[in-house]
Amino acid sequence: MSNYGLSMVSIAGPSKHDCGYCKGKDTSISFGIWAHSMTCADYQDLIDRGWRRSGKYLYKPDLEKSCCPQYTIRLDATKFNMTKNQKKVLHKFNRYVIGNCKAELPAKKPANYVQVKSLQDSIHEPEEQEVNEHKLEIVLEPSSFTKEKFALYAKYQVSIHHDLEEDVSESGFTRFLVDSPLKTNNESDFGSFHQKYTVDGKLIALAVIDILPKCISSVYFMYDPDYSFLGLGKYSAFREICLVQEYNKKFSDLKYYYMGFYIHTCPKMNYKGKYSPSDLLDPVSYKWYPIENFKSKLDETSFVTFDPIERDYPPGWLDPKSLKEKELENVFVLIGDGRIAPIIHIVKFRTSKSFKKNILDYVCSVGLELAHKMIIC
C-alpha cells in the first residue's frame, strides 16, 4: 500500500517513561504510533500538531501531565538575523577553515564603509577562497548507514552523553537515526537526509534532518568531541537555517526551521529560543505565538495555552465523545492482500471496548483529517 503513496501506521498507544531532562521516573507521558511508511505532507501536518519522530516511532507528548512539557518550536528562517555572539561562532569556524590563507584585503575602504553580510554570504565564505588551510566539505545525502557514521555516533554518545560503550550498537544507531518512514528518492526534494561535515577528509559531524513541504526539521546532531572547540552544535544550526533559505528560493512555502522541542526549564533545550524570530505551538489550538508571549507565563507555570477549554482529555486532542460514527466511516484499516476496510466494519471494533478506545484515542490524537488519510495496519 505504501507504493501508492499512502501513510501506513500501527497504533502504539499511550506510554510513560523516565524523563531524560529532570530524571523523573515514569513522568514523561505521550501517545505513539509506528509509521511503516509516511508521506512528507502527512508528517508535516503531524509535527504541526506537536508530534515528533524517533526513527519510525512517532510520539505526541502530553504537555499537561508530563514533568517537562515539550513545546514545538519553529524559526522563520527568511527573517533570521544573527546576534553578535552568533556571528562570532560563525566567524570562528570560518577562520579555522581559512586559516592563514585569507585573501589580501582590497584597497582601503572609506571611513564610513559598513560591510553587511547575509547568513548565506558568511556560511559560504570559505568556498569563495581559492585556497584554505583546511578542506571543508558539506554533503547532503539520503539517510544511510556507514561504518564511518556509526563510529562518529559511538564516540559522541560515549564522550558527550556518557553512554556505556557496550550499550551503543549499530542496530540502535540504525533504528534511531537511519531508519525513517519518509520515503526519499532521486525524484523528490523531500524526505530524511544526513548532512555530513568533513574536514580534511575526516567526518567530524553529522546532522540528521527531515526536509518537508514547509520546513526543515532537525532530528539530531552529533560531532567529534575532538572538534568541540569549533562550536559545531551552533554552527550546524546556522547551516540548516541557511539550507532553509536556499530551499525557499525553489519552494516558497518552505521557510521554517524546526529545532524540535523547547523545554523552558532545561538549559539544554531552552537555548533554542535564542534564535529569532521563533514561535511556539499552542498545545490546544495549534496556533503559533511568538516565544516572548510564552516565556513570562512559563516562568509561573509549566503548561501554557492561549485557548483554555474545559476538557477531560489530553490537550490538543479531539473530544472522544464528539466523534460521530459517520466520521469514522472514512478511517480505514488494512485487512490483508492489499485490501482496506472502514474501521467501524471490523468485528473487533464492535466487540472489544479496549480496541475501540485505542482507535478513538488514535483518531483524537492525530485529528480527523489525518485519520482519514493514513491507513491503520
| Residues 6+ positions from 255 with CB-CB distance below 8 Å | 76, 77, 78, 214, 215, 244, 248
| 312: three-class secondary structure by DSSP | coil
Query: What's the confidence (pLDDT) of residue 5?
Result: 75
DSSP string, 14-47: EEEE--TTT--SS-EEEEEEEEEEB-HHHHHHHH
Is 44's pLDDT higher than 70?
Answer: yes
Residue 177 identity: L
pLDDT digits (tens, 9 = 90+) for 232-245: 999 999 999 999 99
pLDDT digits (tens, 9 = 90+) for 146-196: 999 999 999 999 999 999 999 999 999 999 999 999 976 555 799 999 999
How far is it, in rounded angstroms, from Cα 299 to Cα 343?
44
Query: What's the confidence (pLDDT) of residue 112?
Result: 46
Query: What's the confidence (pLDDT) of residue 4?
Result: 59
Compute the average pLDDT of residues 45-54.
98
Strands (E), the chain: 8-17, 28-37, 52-54, 57-61, 71-76, 136-142, 191-199, 202-211, 215-223, 256-262, 278-281, 288-290, 332-336, 339-342, 375-376
Query: What's the confidence (pLDDT) of residue 2?
Result: 57
User: Which grid coordinates are listed for 335?
Assistant: 485487512
Q: Contact at 8 Å (CB) between 181 and 53?
A: yes
Question: Which has more confidence, 267 or 273?
Answer: 273
Query: What's the confidence (pLDDT) of residue 100?
Result: 76
Is 9's pLDDT higher than 50?
Answer: yes
Helix and strand counts by DSSP (H, E) for the chain: 13, 15
Closest CA to 372 of 327, 310, 324: 327
Give the other-Cβ count within 10 Å of 370's Cβ. Answer: 20
Give the other-Cβ count within 10 Å of 112's Cβ. Answer: 5
| Helix, strand, coil shares, percent, the chain, to 5 | 35, 25, 35
pLDDT digits (tens, 9 = 90+) for 59-112: 999 999 999 999 999 999 999 989 999 999 999 999 999 997 764 444 455 554
The mean-pLDDT minimum among 91-95, 97-101, 343-347, 358-362 falls in 97-101
Query: What's the confidence (pLDDT) of residue 117?
Result: 73
How far is it, in rounded angstroms, from Cα 201 to Cα 149?
13
How far is it, in rounded angstroms, from Cα 258 to Cα 49?
13
Q: Contact at 8 Å (CB) between 193 and 143?
A: yes
pLDDT digits (tens, 9 = 90+) for 241-262: 999 999 999 999 999 999 999 9
Instruction: Please give the model's pTM, rounded to 2 decimal places.
Output: 0.93
Query: What's the confidence (pLDDT) of residue 102?
Result: 60
Is 114's pLDDT higher than 50?
Answer: no
pLDDT digits (tens, 9 = 90+) for 215-232: 999 999 999 999 999 999
Domains of the chain: 2-69+282-376 (no CATH), 78-103+113-260 (3.40.630)
Query: What's the confidence (pLDDT) of residue 185?
Result: 56
Compute the average pLDDT of residues 126-142.
91
Query: What's the confidence (pLDDT) of residue 45?
Result: 98
Is 1's pLDDT higher than 60?
Answer: no
- 84-98 vs 232-248: helix crossing angle, rounded to 10: 100
